[in-house]
Every structure is written in structure tokens, then in C-alpha cells.
Amino acid sequence: MSTTGTNPYESSSTASLPGRRIPNGKTIVKVQNGFNKHNESAQHQKSSYEQVPLHTACFTYLGFYLLMILGYINQLFFTPKVATEKFRDGYVPLYDAFEKFYLRYVYRRVKDCWNRPICSVPGSEVVLKDRITKDYGWSFEFTGTETKCLNLGSYNYLGFAQNEGPCADDAEECIWTYGLAACSSRRELGTNPLHNELEALTAKFLGVEDAIVFGMGFATNSLNIPTLISPGCLVVSDEKNHASIILGLRLSGATPKVFKHNNMKDLERVLKDSILTGQPGTGKPWKKILIIVEGVFSMEGSIVKLPEIIELKKKYKAYIYLDEAHSIGAMGPSGRGVVDYYGVDPNDIDILMGTFTKSFGSAGGYIAGNKVIAVVRTLTARNIAVVGVGFPATPIMEGRIRFCLSAAHTKEQLDYALSVIDDISDTLGLKYSRKPRNPHPIEY
């Protein structure tokens, strides 16, 4: 909003260019390619973090320890009739001893909170198939009834995952023209016009020269990162990066080093120390230094401090690999992700990665850049469905509940969700924030 006597389209530092003031105090300026230029004098976005209070952490650990003790007692007196690994000589076990124990005696007791089957389109609402267990989670039986829930558990940020509307109509038309799928990779069966059109459109949308699309979002990270780096390269990775990134780093053979989540001082420390010491054993200079971060961190919901990372990249002659799986389409004035959100130049990001599964109601992912890079816990009782993430996907004491918002949700639905979350948080003692609540009503 502009104040009286002030031109909202004029920045004091760039009076000759059209600009816009946004709520976090930054000024962004339009440039010729249609993207926003970051005002260097503006303050960078600051994520809000609070340490978990000691009493909350203690009660959480106590609850887990009690559950583990009961599990060990159960293990002493009861041997379950479950499948065992056979003919595995010479192979690494699929599960280590603790994971076997955890899955059988801890996770099993709360198993009904995960993998709930659905029987509807995952739009703003979703229908769950009700089930019961008569043997404490070893098996389940369907009751024949269903429960409609407010859907906060699907990546449907723009509301495209519906069975009606333009997206569904266009998908149906493409099926009649091209069939359901190619049924194999482009390397085997070739490229059809849709591949080329999608890649050109993706590159144009992102403001870069070219893009390559892939059929699976997870594999876009895990199988492409090894083609970009190799032994002798250094990868500096945020500690909260997604499992697909971690798998890609392991497959690459490069040297990974982790910095504290969104901590720019620690990132600079890792870069500086690594450059000074060089490659392990030889001290040779690194072949390549790659900083890997997410735009919106899928496990935390925090936004990367991209302008500061770009500054460090230029200072230490590194490359940036930006995973925009959860930010593309959902962040920025034009929906172009955190690059658009901060108004930085897309050309400052060496490798842009994203998926079509979160905002665009489709499947697959992309790699884009200046050149072709070919080379829950469930709230079902209150009719709210969310994503529960627990061990081994997270550290055993750092489980998450992921709330996925969508443009298809109405204000009434979100108000209901907030009221339920508020109530359950009180019951479970999860409210520990000491930050003052904004007294002003939220306008939709």
C-alpha cells in the first residue's frame, strides 16, 4: 500500500524505473526480461525460529522412552510371525537391528496414523476409507464406511488437482491425441512434441535458456546430481535438505559437507575452511564447489536466504543448485518460486530444479539453467487429513506434521483447520512460541 503523496511505482534508489513495495520492506524493480531485480539495500528475509522449551523436549523424550521400554519387554515375550530375509548372503541387510525393532514394536502401535487409503480426488477435500485393526496394528480390515476430511495432506498448492476444470479437460484432450504415456524413457522411445513444448515453456517461465524434464520428481534430484558432480568436487548441503538430494550426493562420490540450517555464517565457515584445506588427503584444489539448498524446505517450511547465498557463491566462486520443488508456482508475485519472491536474477542461479507435482497437478520434474544440462500424525478424528512424517524419514525425535495448503481451500475451511489445530495443540502441549500474536485480522 502506498502512503499519501508517495508514488507506489517509484523506488527512491531507482526513480526512473517502475518499482513496487512489498510487505517485508523490500523494493523490487521491474527489468526488461519481466523478472524483478532485488534491491541490494533492502533487508533479506528472516525466517522465524524458536528453540523447543526444555519441558516440552523432556516430556517428548519421556514418552518415546516409555514406548521403547514397552517394546523391548514385548520383544522378550513375544516373537511375531513376520516375513524374514532369505538368500541374502553377501548383501547388506534391508533393515538394521534397531529399524526392525522400531517397525515391529513402536511404529506398529501407531501405524494407523500413516498410509491411510483414500477413495476420491485429492482436492480441497478428500475421502478416506475407514479401517480397524484387531491385532494392534499387524493387519487392518476395511469397515465399508468412509470419512470426508478437509485435505491438508496433498501437494495441491494451486488447486489444479481436480477432476473438472481446464486442467482436467486439457489432460483428457492430450490423452486422446498422444495416449496415456510413452511407457518408457525418451532415450529408448524418443521425444514427442509435448516434451519439447514443455521444456521450452518451462525455460521461458523460469527466465533461463533451456530446461530438461523428467518423469519422476525424486529421481530428478537423485539421478541427476551424480551427473553434475564427481569425486574431487565439494558439495555444501543444508542439513535439512530432502532425502532425494542426500541420495544423489551419496551416488555422486563427491565430498559432502553440511552446514547448519539456513545459517549463512556457518555456510561461509564451511566454504572458507574447505577451500583452505582442499581435497582430503591430497590438499588439491576442488574441481568444483556446489552449494545445494531448497527454496522452501520441505521438512521445515522455512524459506532459503537466497540473496545471501548468491553473495557467498560469487565471493567463493561456487555454483548454486536450487531445489524449488515446494516453491515453484507457490512463491513470488508471478509464481516463479523464491527467485521471483526475492526478485533476484535467475541467471545468478546455476542450476534450477523443480517438480510439476506440487503446484501444477502433474508428475515429474525439471532441471533448468543458462545452458542445456544434459548431462501424523492424522487429524482424522476431527475430519482433517495431513501428512505425518516420522522415523526413519526424520530423526527419531524430530517427527513432522506437514500441512499442505491449496488455492482450492476456502476461508471457512482454513478457519476450521486453524481452530482444530489450536485446540489439539493445547491438548498436547505443543504451544511453546513466545512471539506476540498479530492483533490485526487476516484479510483473504
- What pLDDT, in 10s, does the model give residues 124-180? 888 999 999 888 888 899 999 999 988 888 888 888 887 888 888 888 888 888 887
pLDDT range class, residue 274, cuts 50, 70, 90: very high
Same domain for 140 and 267, yes or no, is no
Q: Which of 38-47, 97-106, 270-279, 344-353 has the lowest mean pLDDT?
A: 38-47
Q: Which of 89, 35, 81, 110 is nearest to 337 (CA)?
A: 35
Residue 304 DSSP class: P
Same domain for 348 and 389, yes or no, is no
Whole-number Å distance between alpha carbons of 211 and 178: 22
Q: Which of 294-298, 356-360, 390-394, 403-407 has the lowest mean pLDDT?
A: 390-394
Q: Is 44 a catalytic residue?
A: no
Check residue 13 and give its pLDDT: 35
Q: Which of 50-64, 208-222, 381-395 has the highest mean pLDDT?
A: 208-222
Task: Report if residue 23 sits inside a domain.
Answer: no
CATH number at residue 349: 3.40.640.10
Task: Report if residue 9 sits inside a domain.
Answer: no
Check residue 178 and give its pLDDT: 81
Is the pLDDT at 415 greater than 50, yes or no? yes
Same domain for 260 and 126, yes or no, is no
pLDDT range class, residue 390, cuts 50, 70, 90: low
Sheet holding 234-238, edge to edge: 210-214, 365-369, 351-355, 319-323, 289-294, 234-238, 255-259
Task: Report if residue 443 sits inside a domain.
Answer: no
Give the per-residue SS3 of 94-120.
Answer: CCCHHHHHHHHHCHHHHHHHCCCCECC
Domain boundary, last residue among 301, 336, 369? 369
Q: Is 134 a catalytic residue?
A: no
Per-position DSSP letters for 180-213, written without gaps between them: S--SS-HHHH---HHHHHHHHHHHHHHTSSEEEE
Between 304 and 34, the higher pLDDT residue: 304
Helix (H/G/I), strand (E/B), else coil: 19 = strand
Task: Report if residue 25 sits inside a domain.
Answer: no
Between 105 and 187, the higher pLDDT residue: 105
Q: Is 326 a catalytic residue?
A: yes
Q: Give the chain's domain count.
A: 3
Pair 211, 346: CB distance under 8 Å: no
Same domain for 403 and 292, yes or no, is no
pLDDT range class, residue 404, cuts 50, 70, 90: confident
Same domain for 256 and 319, yes or no, is yes
Phi, psi of 210 (to 5 degrees): -155, 165
Domain boundary, last residue among 319, 339, 369? 369
Tally the C-alpha atoms within 13 A of residue 381's C-alpha that lie toward its C-beta.
8
* 288 Cβ contact list (under 8 Å, min separation 6): 229, 232, 233, 234, 319
Check residue 40 and give its pLDDT: 40
Task: Report if residue 37 sits inside a domain.
Answer: no
Q: Rounded to the nearest 5 degrees, what angle is found at the Cα of 238, between the Cα atoms of 233 and 241?
A: 105
Between 29 and 337, the higher pLDDT residue: 337
Which one of the listed residues 358, 359, 406, 409 is annotated catalytic?
A: 358
How many other β-carbons are positioned within 10 Å of the β-carbon of residue 345? 15
pLDDT range class, residue 3, cuts 50, 70, 90: very low
Residue numbers of the domain that contains 254:
193-369
Task: Report if residue 137 sits inside a domain.
Answer: yes
Same domain for 394 and 361, yes or no, is no
Same domain for 354 and 405, yes or no, is no
Same domain for 355 and 387, yes or no, is no
Domain boundary, last residue among 332, 348, 369? 369
Same domain for 225 and 360, yes or no, is yes
Same domain for 417 and 306, yes or no, is no
Task: Report if residue 338 sits inside a domain.
Answer: yes
Task: Report if residue 313 sits inside a domain.
Answer: yes
Is the pLDDT at 380 greater than 60, yes or no? no
Which one of the listed residues 38, 305, 326, 409 is annotated catalytic?
A: 326
Pair 261, 239: CB distance under 8 Å: yes
pLDDT range class, residue 205, cuts 50, 70, 90: very high
Same domain for 340 and 215, yes or no, is yes
Same domain for 142 and 217, yes or no, is no
Is the pLDDT at 438 greater than 50, yes or no? yes
Which one of the listed residues 298, 327, 359, 406 is annotated catalytic?
A: 298
Is the pLDDT at 233 greater than 50, yes or no? yes
